[in-house]
Amino acid sequence: MATEYPPVSFHFKVEFNGISSQEKDVQFQSVSGLSIDIETEEFAEGGENRFKHKLPVRSKFPNLVLKRGMVTDSEIIKWCRNAIESFQFEPVDLTVKLLNEKHEPLVTWNVVHVYPVKWSVDDFNAEESKITIETIELAYNYFTLV
């Protein structure tokens, strides 16, 4: 099967496992935060003054940030509000799928133990004609590529 190289970044979907599979809850404008950093610790060696050794310590993952046009009856927002307003966190796993022109996954990221840490709505401005954007920020433990 021939694939397009490089793949386009605008054709994707986000699926929250066990929350909602409705079309409006898998479509987002943008996803950011799928990255990994390795924290290091510096170690000074006696007698060596030119540099310090850097040793790997652990992996660090930033928050996942999802943006989309505001959806008024979303199961995902109900899940977020339950965590933020009632402080009842129910972590779930989610998948981010980069799709080809046939809507088939090219690359899939499994994001593990996700829970909301922030929900916000863009500013309202009577002088602009634009869609209301909601932003969901999610903490997670790690992700894997499938």
Give me the residue spans of the domains in the chain.
Answer: 12-36+62-145
Assess whether pLDDT exceeds 50 at residue 1: no
4: pLDDT strictly greater than 70: no
- Provide the CATH topology of domain 12-36+62-145: Pnp Oxidase; Chain A (2.30.110)
What is the per-residue pLDDT across 102-141, written as a single tens digit (0 to 9) for each? 889 999 999 999 999 999 999 998 998 999 999 999 999 9
Beta strand residue intervals within 26-88, DSSP E:
30-32, 37-43, 53-60, 64-69
C-alpha 69/C-alpha 135 separation (Å) is 9
Tallying the residues shown for the chain, one arrives at 146
Average pLDDT, stretch 27-42?
94
Global pTM value: 0.84
Tell me the pLDDT tens digit for each residue of 50-101: 999 999 999 999 999 999 999 888 899 999 999 999 999 999 999 999 998 8
